Structures are given as C-alpha cells and as structure tokens.
Amino acid sequence: MHHGSRVMAVAVAGAIAAAGCPGGGGTGTGPKLVPDSPTIDQGRDLPEVPVKIVTTASAPMEGNTPAAASPILEAMASENARWMAQLGNEPDPAYYLSYQVVEQRAVGLDAEGGALISDSDETARNLDIDVRVGSPALDNTRALSDDDGLNSPRARRGVFPFGTDPVAIKNHLWLETDRRYREAVQALVYVRQDQQTLSKAKKRPPDFSASEPVVYSEPVAKLEFDKAAWIARLKSCSKKALTGAATRGSCNVVFQLNTVWFVNSEGSRIQQSYTSAQLQVSVGVKTDDGMGLVRLEQRFGATPGDLPSDAEIDKMIKTVTADLKALNEAPLAEPYVGPAILEGRAAGVFFHEVFGHRIEGHRQKDETSGQTFSSYIGKAIAPEWLSVYDDAMLKTLNGIQLNGFYRFDDEGVKAQKVSLIDKGVLVGFDMGRNPIDGFGKSNGHGRKAPGLPAVARQGNLVVEAARTVERADLEAMLIEEVKKQGRPYGMVFTDISGGFTNTSAFAPQAFKVNPVMAYKIYPDGRRELVRGIDIGGTPLIALQSIRAASREIETFNGVCGAESGWVPVSASAPSLLIERLEIEKSFVPPDRPPVLDAPNIRQTVGGAP
C-alpha cells in the first residue's frame, strides 16, 4: 500500500501540470522485471528521409561577463571556504559543500470569465545547501536498503537576505550550513549502520562525482511587461473562454525573473539570470456522468514579449472551447488493444513519461527501483531509424523556444548534449552527480526546484527519425494496420496531459499516461472523439512497438514535477505509429454536474428568481 499511494500522489500532481512526472521507487529490494526482448521491426521499407529539425543553441560559457558578478558570490565563497577549512578536520569530515541561492520574482495574473481574480508580484530568495559527509565512495546521501524517507534532507526554504550585505548573508549561510551539516552527520550514522547489514557481494557505485570548477557570470536580466495591457488581455481572453458548455474559463500568465548564484568547494562561482513567461488558457466543465473535463493550452517564452499575439490567443480559445464542447458530447471509450498514432506533441509527452523518466540515471541505482534500462545499455530497444537525445543547450527547435534550456545545472555542472538512443540502441542516461555503473560523471542534468535536493532530470528531449513518412501516409498505415490486426478501429491521440511511470521493483514496471484528445479512426477514415481513457503498458514493449514516424516534428513545452520538484522541460517528437497500445478506462468519480443551470442575470434582476 505504501508504494501505491506514493506513486499515486505524484501522479495526481502530475495530472495538474502539463506534463506529469513519476515518483521515485518504494522501499526495500525485490525481484527485477526484465521483459524478454522480442525482435524489433526495423521498418527498412520506410523512406530514407529524416525528420526536419533546425535548432539554435547557446554553449554554457557564452555571454560570460565577469564584471557582472554580484558581491553575493564573494560572500558565499568566503563562508564556504571558512566552513570547509574546519569541516575537513571534524570526526565526520565533509568533503564537499555547495551553496545555491535562487532569487525568484514571480508575477501572476489570473482572470476568470472576464474578471481579474488574482494579481500578485512576489520576490523571494531561497538558500539550498548540499553538504557531503563521509567520502565520495560512501556518503550521507546513500539510500538506505529499507528507505523510510527519514534519512533524506528535510525539504524546506532556507532563508537568505535580500541585498548584498556580507554580514547578513554570511550569518544565514553559517546558520544553514550548521543545520545541514548536523543533518548530514546524523544521516551518515544510519548509512553506516545499514551498510554493515548489506551483502558485500554486490559492488555499488559511489555516491558522488566531482566536476570541473566553473566560473561564469551573466548580467542580471530584466523582466519587462505592460501590466495594464496584460490584465486587459487576460480579462478579454477569459471572457471569451467562458462560453458554451464551459462552467469555468480562465486565462493566466506567470512571468518570472530568476537569478541564481552557485558556489561550491570545488571552486565554482556561477551567476545565471533569466526570465520566463507562461500563458495558459483553460476551460472546464463537469459532464452529465460526473467526469471533470479540463482543456488547456499553454505557451511558453523566454520573455513576456515572446508570448502569443491577441490573434493567436483567440485561436487558443477557439481550440479549447471547441475541444471542450466536443469532449462534453463525446461518449466514454471502451478498453482497447491495437494500433495507434501519437501525434507530435502527444508523442513528445509520451516519450518524456515512458522513456525519459526511465533514463534519469539515479533511478538505475536506487535499490528499490526496477532499474529497467540498466541491463539494456548497448542493446537495441527501438527501431534503428530512431534516435533520442537530451540537449539543454538548445534554445529553439524549428523556431519554437524550448523550455528546457539552461547553461549550468543545479549542481554547478555545464549543460551537455546527451545521446540516449543512437540508431535504436540504448547508449546513455541523463546524469547528475550521482554515478551509476558505467556512467561515473555528471552530464549536467542534476536539476531541482528550490528547497529540494537535485536528481537527474530531463531538459530538452528530442526524438529523431532517420526514416519518415508524410503525416497522411502515417494515417493510411494506421488503417492498414487496423485491417491487418482485424480491429474495428485504430486510435489517434493528439494531446496527452501527463501521467506517471512506476519505477519501483515492487510493482509492475508499467506506465500510465492520460490522453486528453483521443479519437477512434475507422477503416473508412471516419473519426470519433472519445473520453475517459488512459494508455497503459510497459516501456520497453512500447518502444519496440514503434513502426513509423512522420516527417514533421512538434514540440511540447511544459513543467515537470518529480521528487526534486517542478522543472521546465520540453519534448520534441515526430508523430509515431505504434503497432499495439493498450487503452484502459480511466476513473470517473461518482459526481454530477451542478443541479441548477448557471445563473442568467438578465432573467432574474428585478424579477422573480
């Protein structure tokens, strides 16, 4: 029960955001589930035309402006050195100490049905400390064999003063370092106790990998926007969105200015500063059978100015309102196993959930994890025309800004391009500073939200295909497959809201993703929208079932939540034809729509209600 509830809790959080993300494993050890690898259909008859990808990138050290460095970095480095000079001599010596301070200004404007509901503009600074006690081979972060969660650092905000006054800054660094060091020493006691009871037969990889020191500073960015104009736009947008079947129609923006200072005992001193902007148009209704329907469209940009124009927002409104109306009238779907197309953005989310979370390196190490992919390194897991990489240095792909761009990860390591699947063969993992067998170094994917410890996370996931077909041909291939398999219809998924994947060894190594827009495609080409379904299955079988890809690639931008919090990500993929997907009925709560119709003011004012 413990494992199930933990995974579900994360799944619920995931469903709220655009791209839901998995939880960690459970506790204890257990059997590892490694499915037999069937022969992979290599699709050699597909045209040898690759997907169209044009990218722009920025290397980590680009824009280095040493003169822009804040005196905060100096104060952080000085206090870090003062501590390390002593902590190396303690009975429980510390061998690594890092400070990360994030200053985040978040502007939130939210309108509902034409009225402004919230207007906030808050700035906070958060201090996170990573102190390692013991040695890189075995330190305080080693997971316990029967992990009850009590050995992990407590997630909380570390108070850090505004301004640059070294007295105030150093005192708070001192206070928090003392707390975190004490916590780490205590954790190491339990790690050592645990190690005494473990079998020595299995050699375990170390807990920490060193990295080259980085010294980089970029000027502090500016967040510029016309607040009054945005309020007017959001009010107008939400008024238009609250129409037809919708009982809720809202439009909101979140603008952020993040400045991050990072200092560690390896000698790194990094100042990064960037803005981000997000627009969301969302409508909702409860169907007659009690199912809560939400349809949302999000857009991301590096600045508020990158967000859509009024005309584009109108298109977003039209899309969500038309989809909501159609969904509200759509029948509930039945369980199904058969061929399906995942359209571009849906395929991106699918890859992010089903594959991406599995290749986050630390999951291959956790004793309680199924470690599904670790034994497949160097082996074919997908058709040879398919390659996948994760490149946080990418700024745009086919003209679309990518949400997963960064220069340095949250552990002070330079962003890198990481090849994950090369011509169908599994070749790599996204790595933070937590090594696994065969992958001893970070490749710049240690990421986190403020207040949480970093783990390996995705950045910009890109699915490439060396052989592709036109989109229309993909649908023809689907219908052909439907006939071949003797199914009454095939499925097309155009939007997936998120999902979760279980990586614990105690449960089936299954994933579940939640499609929002799912269509039955009949052999005669007729389309029928259905609702109330989930896609389930196991990751390796799903990857091996990919039969074809389209020429056009689409990008999903979003934020992903997992054990190290919410981080911005993107996933780009062509549309994919899957030979066999398993569709399950989703849970429909025993609820009902409002008893009375929505109030109509004009009918009641001054008259009988």
Partner 1 sequence: VTYRSLLAVGVVALVPAVAIAKPARAPTSAAVTNDVLDQIAEEMVRDLQNLQLPNAPGPYHISYKITEVEVNDVVASLGSTTTSRPRHFVNLEARVRVGLFKDPMQFDNANYIVPGAEQYDGVASRPLPIEADGRISRRAAWQVTDEAYKEALIQLQAKMDARRSTGLANDLPSWTAEKAVVSEEPVVVPDLEPLEQMEERAKALSAGFRDQPHLRDSRVALTSYLERRWYINSEGTNVTDTRRASGIVIVATSQADDGQELAQYFARYGQTADDLPKNDELAAEIKKLSATLAALQKAPSLEKSYSGPVLFEGEGAVGMVRNSLAPHLGGTPLPEGLNPQQAKQFGGQLTDKLNLRVASRNISIVDDPTASSAAGKALIGGYKLDDEGVASQKVQVVKGGMLEHLLTSRTPSTKGAISNGHARRTTAGGMFHGTATNLIVSATGGTTRQALIGKLLAQAKSEGLKFGIIVRQFDDSAITAAPEFSRRELYTMVQSADIDLPPPASLVYKVYPNGKEELIRGVQLGELQIRVWKDVIGVGKTPLVYNFLAAPESYLANKFGGGTDDGAVPSSGIESAVVTPDLLFKEIDLKPITSGRRPKPAIPSPVGSK
Q: Which span (144-152, 256-264, 320-328, 510-518) binds partner 1, by CB under 8 A?
A: 144-152
Residue 81 lies near partner 1 (rule: CB under 8 A): no
CA distance 314 to 603: 29
Residues facing residue 121 across a β-bridge: 107
Residue 5 lies near partner 1 (rule: CB under 8 A): no
Residue 183 lies near partner 1 (rule: CB under 8 A): yes
Q: How far is the CB of 400 from partner 1 (least distance, A)?
A: 33
Q: What is the DSSP string of 199-244?
A: -SSS----S-------EEE-PPP-----HHHHHHHHHHHHHHHS-T
Encoded amino acid at 511, one letter: F
Question: Could you say which DSSP state residue 438 is in?
Answer: T
Residues facing residue 138 across a β-bridge: 135
Total residues contacting partner 1 by CB under 8 A comes to 61
Residue from the set 83, 262, 429, 493 that interacts with partner 1 by CB under 8 A: 83
Segments of 453-599 assigned E as strands: 455-456, 460-465, 490-501, 511-521, 527-530, 533-537, 546-562, 565-585
Sign of the torsion angle spanned by Cα atoms 550, 553, 558, 560: positive
Residue 601 lies near partner 1 (rule: CB under 8 A): yes
Q: Which span (11-19, 35-43, 157-165, 266-274) binds partner 1, by CB under 8 A?
A: 157-165
Buried b (16+ CB within 10 A) or exposed e, 564-575: bbbbbbbbbbbb
Residue from the set 172, 269, 457, 512 that interacts with partner 1 by CB under 8 A: 172
110 or 218, CB closer to partner 1?
110
Question: Could you say which DSSP state residue 403 is in?
Answer: T
67 or 228, CB closer to partner 1?
228
Residue from the set 57, 95, 145, 190 that interacts with partner 1 by CB under 8 A: 190
Site mask for partner 1 (CB under 8 A), range 101-120, x = bound:
-----------xxxxxxxxx
137 or 189, CB closer to partner 1?
189
Nearest to 403 by CA among 279, 250, 230: 279
Contact 446, 409 (CB under 8 A): yes
Beta pairing, strands 386-391 & 460-465? antiparallel
Residue from the set 170, 192, 204, 580 that interacts with partner 1 by CB under 8 A: 170
63 or 161, CB closer to partner 1?
161
Residue 161 lies near partner 1 (rule: CB under 8 A): yes
Contact 119, 190 (CB under 8 A): no
Q: Which span (306-314, 328-336, 340-348, 587-595) binds partner 1, by CB under 8 A?
A: 587-595
Q: How far is the CB of 596 from partner 1 (least distance, A)?
A: 6
SS3 3: helix
Q: How far is the CB of 196 from partner 1 (least distance, A)?
A: 18
Helix (H) or strand (E) holding 248: strand 248-264
- Among positions 229-258, residues that touch partner 1 (CB under 8 A) are 247
Residue 82 lies near partner 1 (rule: CB under 8 A): yes
Residue 95 lies near partner 1 (rule: CB under 8 A): no
Residue from the set 175, 232, 322, 476 that interacts with partner 1 by CB under 8 A: 175
189 or 322, CB closer to partner 1?
189
- Among positions 349-368, residues that touch partner 1 (CB under 8 A) are none
Question: Could you say which DSSP state residue 303 is in?
Answer: S
38 or 174, CB closer to partner 1?
174
Nearest to 429 by CA among 208, 440, 40: 440
Q: Which span (25-33, 35-43, 123-131, 562-570) binds partner 1, by CB under 8 A?
A: 123-131
C-alpha pair distances (Å), 328 with each of 18, 240, 529, 589: 20, 18, 10, 15
Contact 513, 487 (CB under 8 A): no
Nearest to 406 by CA among 430, 434, 428: 430
Residue 86 lies near partner 1 (rule: CB under 8 A): yes
Residue 168 lies near partner 1 (rule: CB under 8 A): yes
CA distance 302 to 140: 37
Q: How far is the CB of 116 from partner 1 (least distance, A)?
A: 5
Binding site for partner 1 (CB under 8 A): 79, 82-83, 86-87, 90, 112-120, 122-125, 149-154, 156-157, 159-163, 165, 167-175, 178-179, 181-183, 186-187, 190, 247, 592, 594-596, 598-599, 601, 604-605, 609
